[in-house]
Amino acid sequence: MAATSLEGADAPQPRTAKAAPRAVGRLRPWQVMIALAALFVVISLARQLSGGTDLTSVGQWGGTLSFAMPIGLAGLGGLWAERAGVVNIGLEGMMVLGTFGGGYVAWHTHSAWLGLLAGIALGALGGLLHAYLTVTLGVDHIVSGVAINLLAPGFAAYLSKLAFTTPAATAQGGGQKQSPPVPGFSRITIPGLSSWLAHLDAHHWFLVSDLAGLIGGIVTGLSVITVLAVALLIGSYFVLWRTPFGLRLRSCGENPTAAESLGVNVYRYKYAAVLVSGGLAGLGGVFIAMVNSNFFLDGQTGGRGYIGLASMIFGNWRIGGLAAGAGLFGYTDSLQGRADTTSVHALLLIVAVLLIGLALWNGYRRRYLRAGIGLAIGALVVVWFTATKSLPAEFLVVTPHITTLLVMGLASQRLRMPKADGLVYRRGQGT
Amino acid sequence: MNANTKPPAAAERPAKGLGKGLGKGIDREKLLLAVAAPVLALIATMVITAIVLLCSGKEPFGALRVMGTYLGYSDYQVNTLNQATTYYLGALAVAFGFRMKLFNIGVDGQYRIGAFFAAVAGGAVNLPAVLEIPMIMVVSMACAGLWAGIAGWLKVTRGVSEVITSIMLNAVAGSVIAYLLNPKRLALAVGNDVRTPKIPDSGHFFSFNLAGGQLWGFIIIAALVGIGFHLLLNRTRFGFDLRATGRSESAALASGVNVKRMVVVSMLVSGALAGLIGMPQLLNSSYQYSVDFPAGIGFTCIGIALVGRNNPVGIAFAALLFAFLDTVANPLQFNGYQVELVPVIEGTIVVCVVGTYEVVRRYGLRRQQSRVGEQLGRTGPTATDTAKGVAA
Amino acid sequence: MHAVVGENGAGKSTLMKILYGMQRPDEGTIAIDGEQVALHSPADAIARGIGMVHQHFMLADNLTVLENTTLGAEKLHGIGGRARARIQEISQAYGLGVRPDALVEDLGVADRQRVEILKVLYRGARTLILDEPTSVLVPQEVDALFDNLRGLKEEGLTVLFISHKLDEVLKVADAITVIRRGTTVAEVDPAGTTSRRLAELMVGSELPSPEASESTVTDTEVLAVRGLTLTEPDADGVARTVLDGISLTIHRGEVLGIAGVEGNGQAELVETIMGMRAADSGSVVLDGKDISGLLTRARREAGIGYIPEDRHRHGLLLEAPLWENRILGHVTEAPNSRRGILHPSAARQDTARIVAEYDVRTPGIEVTAASLSGGNQQKLIVGREMSGDPALLIAAHPTRGVDVGAQAQIWDAVRDARRRGLAVLLISADLDELIGLSDTLRVIYRGRIVADADPATVTSEELGSAMTGAAANGNERPEGDTP
């Protein structure tokens, strides 16, 4: 009896509360601002040291913005679907449908906006198919997505040949695999300011020119669709996290059985989410075909649907993180398109600085092993930077892919996806 | 129609025949349901394709007639079999992962990495044929397997979904090859073409000389791999563990399967099988890796594996179907249809098959449950209890 | 406050699902306040003032209490400040003590249940259905719950209470309905009945009881667990001690029962002994051989049979035929395979033997495991795990969710094996089962063995109280077992 009472005497932590702070994965706004500012200083410093002027030029930032948008839109589509518990790897296919729908209708009707609507509608149609297969029939989400990715490009290629090899189309430059030029959307350039910023940018002053480049990139030739996309990102946050509709939708991704028991029509919300998802991917496709280009081209998406999905995972199924991921991928995408090998090479310097910074942070947190590894890799990258003059162009193309692999390999344990994400849910089967 | 084309078709048959005879007590209904799904899917595909053709102002039955006609031509039969050999191997690679719910979407990158390094190795050394050919195959399987192993390793150690990593690795594989396939590195520039050194004659696989053309001897390897796949999965402990993991990872874990090891091993094996995809092309046809080495086969193979229900017999049929559709694309073109009709048909088949399989599977499960309940209701003493348990 | 009692599988939960609109009745009517209604969905039921607290909580872990509460009832007070105020108001009125902005995953079981009750009240329910509300609570928490429920009753609410724990029912109910095999067998006034009488009504005949016969415990140690400690990261990645220096010994012919409220480390203990989780320290010795470093398969081969807690997730391949389920977990053992090659015909034969010996009701061994009833699935598992003469059987909740007949058969099987010298580690939430079958009892609380009890003398109440960690009236521990 003595032993047991002793055992019972020392009460460990209370049963309900956990001592851990809930900061993991969620940063406060001011922390994000400081981190972004620090990153900017690092890039600026790298530009100054290496002379890779394109790292922060007006063109580079403008390119970042326009390359990031399709990725961000696809990622946002993924976020909608996965928050409702449906994994949507079919984003790529839906994006392809978007490029065709936009290209065809815009050319046919001479209206960019009708093209936009058609792209969204075709993307949503792909979403409808995915929703039917996964929600109504209960097919595995990955299998369904892969099937859609096989089907959609086939249809787009078939229809494009049908639509763009007519005499009327070929006369305007259409062909088997591409549409004639299509009307674009209006772009916003602030007169005076843009040119002044470009002028400032050309001076290459530390931080000042870099900042001018950044702002100039935003206010020069800004497409209205970019504005729309940003609005959709912000709007999605409010809809998903601040409205009853969003609450219901997210509950389907966390615990559909519970949602059903409270009278939520889980199928309907999943359908809605996947339809929106397809529409957003379609809009991403429209962006590729009609903003970053001015015609539809077969295979134009180049796997950006997958990158979008990756940026969503990178962003921990949250809008802010997703935007950051899309921005990062857009930045490298944009830089690789610029003919400035010095700037590309300077990327190594940025990576090295970031790695060493992270290592120091780990050292401060007494995680010496990680700190050591980080320092070693950082040092290697510095050696690589000093020993070479340029980066092989072949590898620059896959920077987003390698970044995704690294981020997922290093930070995957911190990520938290919706609890019922990817699980097939059948109505009435919960206990 | 040509009598000469018969032997190869017969050579494929042993692989198919094996599936039967195995399950002694196989329910006739189960078999019926298994056949019903693909048949339903094919009918649905035909209807959809007909609608697509009608909408684009073409005559649907004409397309079917063209296909029927060319099915009888021996050169088209040989081409179909050659193409099917490649598809069969690829779909087996995909199916191997799918059987344990491991989505190796990266088959495409894996086979290109494998074929590239195999071509480099084959072009660099000249061994007797008995060594040269296995050496090339082993290099390809090893490189492709290791490439797939990266995704497996990331999944096991870092918990990252293999779906995303293998897609990313596809792109990376492309750039690795682009970097190395350069006259400054591992390739030669011959005229406009950039390619690896030719593989010596000892590295050429034999072909059958048929009236319809050269039938790649690699079809025999493909058939053997199919048989091996079946035996490994259904007759060995390893296969049981793999299937158990696919059916329920949690139950497999509790039963003593080392799931992490299984993931890595399966990814390696799936990748190694993917390494065979490029071999028929490399050893029976091109003998080199150049910029125009076929790409994108991996994705088609995913579709074929799904249509063939991850089963070596089903995949054989699916591979033949897809290969035939591919070869008949050009004749369709001559007859006023479009080459691009083929991907539409293939994509539609995959989507329809995926849907009908799921519907039929659920129907079969429900039906068996209610039949068991019925049967016990008549014979068992505690019928009410059991029936209720089933209904709940 | 009306109680519905019945055995497992008597149709209680089905009845509740019908009342809550989750299933539709084939025949019959439901009247609320004298008015006949048709309930097509939970939404209908909610609109009629019916609220349900499910046995398995219906809460989304990653959402806050506020979000969980307002979900589906957003129209009432929105999802913002007004809703928060209303929740606090209800919480105070009924003494529920709920914090609206806490994440549900941070809450304990009793708190989650209060959130469930709050959800129902928030929707203005006048009739509360509680499905087995006490199964996850310790007796002290049960008392607190009953206080809450009495408070609700005084406010004029109707409470429908489903249970198979008769003492509790007699304690709180104003009227009792007994159901068996889907029909009402009696309406009883709690004042004029005893739990013995109720139990007989429930079972329909004399009670099967898990009485173990005379002791068969020997001196031969089969399993010796020493200082087993396990830490695992929780959802936040913070390491938490799940098992804390557990030591126990089981002899040949001994059944050692582990009592404890669910979630105190029982599942982790079992899975650590099975090698499914890696212990941080401590050793597991089976038949004198240290198996701490072995993988699950090697441990099974060394002679451990395992009846998992959740047979659907861990015990069966639901879509595979019975004979393949026979192989599951024993793929390396005779007669299932030899030198890496499967032996399907032998496995089929042996499955037929199990089906006959353990009275598995099935039309054949080619049907899928999913088509069997829970009791028959469990009998198949028991038969499988007893094959190959294990030295140790780990049985986690072996009779959970099975019908009375199967329950008795499973108990018999365990007793038989024990007589033949099997050592058994028994985990159960059913205290009567534990007391009836075990030779020795240990109480686990927050990953530690906090008390021992002698099943011959201990009562359910004493055991229950030890399970809360109070440990005041536990029995003494035998020497040598202290770490």
B93 to chain A nearest CA, in Å?
A: 16
In what helix (H) or strand (E) does residue C395 lie, and over which residues does it extend?
Answer: strand C392-396
Q: Which of A182, A202, A199 is nearest to A285 (CA)?
A: A182
Residue A238 buriedness (CB in 10 A; 0-12 / 13-18 / 19+): exposed
Hey, is the C-beta of B343 within 8 angstroms of any chain A C-beta?
yes
Task: Tell me the per-residue pLDDT of B192-205, one tens digit each, with 9 for 90 and over.
Answer: 889 999 999 999 99
Contact state of A405 with B354 under an 8 Å Cβ cutoff: no
The stretch B154-161 carries a mean pLDDT of 89
Hey, is the C-beta of A403 within 8 angstroms of any chain B C-beta?
no
| Buried/exposed C407-429: b ≥16 CB within 10 Å, e otherwise | bbbbbebbbebbeebbbbbbbbb
Give yes or no: residues A324 and A357 share one domain.
Answer: no
Question: Can you tell me the distance from the alpha carbon of A140 to that of A44, in angstroms, rounded to the nearest whole number?
Answer: 46
Would A370 be classed as within a structural domain?
yes
Residue C245 buriedness (CB in 10 A; 0-12 / 13-18 / 19+): middle
Give yes or no: residues A57 and A146 share one domain.
Answer: yes
From the candidates A15, A243, A251, A427, which should be mutated to test the interface with C, based on the most C CB atoms within 10 A?
A: A15
Cα–Cα–Cα angle for B203, B207, B211, rounded to 5 degrees: 155
From the candidates B153, B332, B358, B362, which should be mutated to test the interface with A, based on the most A CB atoms within 10 A?
A: B358
Contact state of C314 with B258 under an 8 Å Cβ cutoff: no
B284 to chain A nearest CA, in Å?
A: 28
Question: Can you tell me the distance from the alpha carbon of C84 to that of C69, in angstroms, rounded to the nearest whole number?
Answer: 10
Question: Can you tell me the distance from the alpha carbon of C309 to that of C373, in angstroms, rounded to the nearest whole number?
Answer: 16
- Asked whether B287 and C327 are in contact (CB, 8 A), the reply is no
Among all residues of chain A, which has the CA nearest to that of B356? A137
- Domains within chain C, CATH numbers bracketed: 2-203 (3.40.50.300), 221-467 (3.40.50.300)
Backbone angles phi, psi at B326, to 5 degrees: -65, -45
Hey, is the C-beta of B52 within 8 angstroms of any chain A C-beta?
yes
Contact state of A8 with C71 under an 8 Å Cβ cutoff: no
Task: Tell me the per-residue pLDDT of B225-252, one tens digit each, with 9 for 90 and over.
Answer: 999 999 999 999 999 999 999 999 999 9
β-strand partners of C284: C225
Task: Tell me the per-residue pLDDT of A174-183, one tens digit each, with 9 for 90 and over.
Answer: 888 899 999 9
Q: Cα dist. A322→A246, A370, C230 in Å?
A: 18, 26, 36
Identify which has the larger pLDDT, C238 or A411.
A411
Contact state of B164 with A310 under an 8 Å Cβ cutoff: yes
The answer for residues whose C-beta is within 8 angstroms of residue C308's C-beta and 6 or more apart is B254, C270, C314, C315, C381, C396
Would A327 be classed as within a structural domain?
yes
Contact state of B365 with C300 under an 8 Å Cβ cutoff: no
Would A348 be classed as within a structural domain?
yes
ipTM of the complex, rounded to two decimals: 0.86
- Asked whether A343 and A53 are in contact (CB, 8 A), the reply is yes
Give yes or no: residues A362 and A392 share one domain.
Answer: yes
Task: pLDDT band for C436, please (50, 70, 90 cuts).
Answer: confident
Among all residues of chain C, which has the CA nearest to that of B386? C373
B372 CB neighbours in chain C (<8 A) are: 362-363, 367, 371-372
Contact state of C111 with A16 under an 8 Å Cβ cutoff: yes
Domain residue limits at B208: 3-391
Residue A15 buriedness (CB in 10 A; 0-12 / 13-18 / 19+): middle
Identify which has the larger pLDDT, A219 or B177.
B177
Question: Can you tell me the distance from the alpha carbon of A203 to that of A85, in angstroms, rounded to the nearest whole number?
Answer: 50
Hey, is the C-beta of A239 within 8 angstroms of any chain B C-beta?
no
Give yes or no: residues A151 and A294 share one domain.
Answer: yes
Domain residue limits at A353: 339-411
| pLDDT the model gives residue C8 | 59
A408 CB neighbours in chain B (<8 A) are: 154, 158, 160, 164-165
- Asked whether A335 and A400 are in contact (CB, 8 A), the reply is no
Hey, is the C-beta of C48 within 8 angstroms of any chain A C-beta?
no
Among all residues of chain C, which has the CA nearest to that of A13? C446
Would A33 be classed as within a structural domain?
no
C11 CB neighbours in chain B (<8 A) are: 388
Of B167, B338, B355, the CB nearest to A158: B338
Give yes or no: residues A311 and A361 share one domain.
Answer: no
Q: Is the dihedral of CA B38, B40, B41, B43 positive or negative?
A: positive
Among all residues of chain A, which has the CA nearest to that of C482? A3
- CATH code where residue A273 lies: 1.10.3470
From the candidates C18, C181, C328, which should be mutated to test the interface with B, based on the most B CB atoms within 10 A?
A: C328
What would the two tokens of residue C209 be? 């009881």
Of C296, C316, C376, the CB nearest to B256: C296
Task: Tell me the per-residue pLDDT of C65-120, one tens digit each, with 9 for 90 and over.
Answer: 999 999 888 888 888 889 999 999 888 888 888 888 888 888 877 888 889 989 98
User: What DSSP line would sit under B164-183, residue for residue?
Assistant: HHHHHHHHHHHHHHHHHSST
Cβ atoms within 10 A of the Cβ of A40, count? 15
Task: Tell me the per-residue pLDDT of B351-373, one tens digit each, with 9 for 90 and over.
Answer: 999 999 999 988 888 888 888 87
Residue A266 DSSP class: H
Question: Can you tell me the distance from the alpha carbon of B202 to that of B140, in angstroms, rounded to the nearest whole number?
Answer: 17
| pLDDT the model gives residue A305 | 94
The stretch C197-214 carries a mean pLDDT of 62
What would the two tokens of residue B39 be? 């048949």
Give yes or no: residues A279 and A238 share one domain.
Answer: yes
Q: What is the dihedral of CA A131, A133, A139, A142, to 10 degrees?
A: -60
A247 to chain C nearest CA, in Å?
A: 7
Q: Cα dist. B374→A75, C23, C99, C105 in Å?
A: 50, 21, 51, 43
Task: pLDDT band for A317, please (50, 70, 90 cuts).
Answer: very high
A395 CB neighbours in chain B (<8 A) are: 175, 179
Would A28 be classed as within a structural domain?
no
Beta strands in A267-395 (DSSP E): none
C23 CB neighbours in chain A (<8 A) are: 428
β-strand partners of B209: B214
Task: pLDDT band for B304, please (50, 70, 90 cuts).
Answer: very high
Hey, is the C-beta of A306 within 8 angstroms of any chain B C-beta?
yes
The stretch C261-285 carries a mean pLDDT of 89
Give yes or no: residues A403 and A271 share one domain.
Answer: no
Give the number of domains in chain B. Answer: 1
Strand, helix or coil at B29?
Answer: helix
Of C274, C306, C363, the CB nearest to B376: C363
User: What DSSP line would sit under A81-117, residue for residue?
Assistant: HHHTT---TTHHHHHHHHHHHHHHHHHHHS-HHHHHH
Task: pLDDT band for C234, please (50, 70, 90 cuts).
Answer: low
Res. B344: pLDDT tops 60: yes
Question: Can you tell me the distance from the alpha carbon of B22 to that of A325, in angstroms, rounded to the nearest whole number?
Answer: 52
From the candidates C339, C348, C373, C404, which should be mutated to test the interface with B, based on the most B CB atoms within 10 A?
A: C373
Of B236, B238, B380, the CB nearest to C361: B380
Give the number of domains in chain A. Answer: 2
Per the prediction, chain B carries an average pLDDT of 86
Would A34 be classed as within a structural domain?
no
Res. C472: pLDDT tops 60: no
What would the two tokens of residue C210 be? 């898990």
Would A41 be classed as within a structural domain?
no
Hey, is the C-beta of B51 within 8 angstroms of any chain A C-beta?
no
Q: Map tokens 């139990």 to a residue.
A: C199
Task: Tell me the per-residue pLDDT of A79-116, one tens digit each, with 9 for 90 and over.
Answer: 999 999 999 999 999 999 999 999 999 999 999 999 99
Would A119 be classed as within a structural domain?
yes
| pLDDT the model gives residue C30 | 84
What would the two tokens of residue C385 be? 């795990």
Largest Cα–Cα distance in chain B?
84
Cα–Cα–Cα angle for A279, A284, A290, rounded to 5 degrees: 115
Give yes or no: residues A111 and A156 share one domain.
Answer: yes
Pairing of strands C2-5, C158-163: parallel
Task: pLDDT band for A12, please (50, 70, 90 cuts).
Answer: very low
B106 CB neighbours in chain A (<8 A) are: none
β-strand partners of C443: C259, C451
Residues 115-134 of B with CB under 8 A from C: none
Task: pLDDT band for C48, please (50, 70, 90 cuts).
Answer: confident
**Amino acid identity at B162:** E
Q: Cα dist. B100→B146, B165, B233, B269, B366 in Å?
A: 19, 17, 11, 12, 23
Question: Can you tell me the distance from the alpha carbon of C195 to that of C174, in angstroms, rounded to the nearest whole number?
Answer: 15
Question: Can you tell me the distance from the alpha carbon of C58 to that of C79, in angstroms, rounded to the nearest whole number?
Answer: 19
Task: Tell me the per-residue pLDDT of B68-107, one tens digit each, with 9 for 90 and over.
Answer: 999 999 999 999 999 999 999 999 999 999 999 999 999 9
- CATH code where residue B32 lies: 1.10.3470
Task: pLDDT band for B341, please (50, 70, 90 cuts).
Answer: very high
Give yes or no: residues A394 and A284 share one domain.
Answer: no
Contact state of A248 with C482 under an 8 Å Cβ cutoff: no
Question: Can you tell me the distance from the alpha carbon of C167 to that of C458, in angstroms, rounded to the nearest whole number?
Answer: 17
| pLDDT the model gives residue A159 | 93
Contact state of A147 with B306 under an 8 Å Cβ cutoff: yes
| pLDDT the model gives residue B208 | 93
Give yes or no: residues A117 and A58 share one domain.
Answer: yes
Contact state of C295 with B258 under an 8 Å Cβ cutoff: yes
Pairing of strands C127-131, C50-53: parallel
Give yes or no: residues A160 and A260 share one domain.
Answer: yes
Give yes or no: residues A388 and A268 share one domain.
Answer: no
Hey, is the C-beta of C262 within 8 angstroms of any chain A C-beta?
no
Question: Can you tell me the distance from the alpha carbon of B112 to that of B128, in angstroms, rounded to the nearest whole number?
Answer: 25
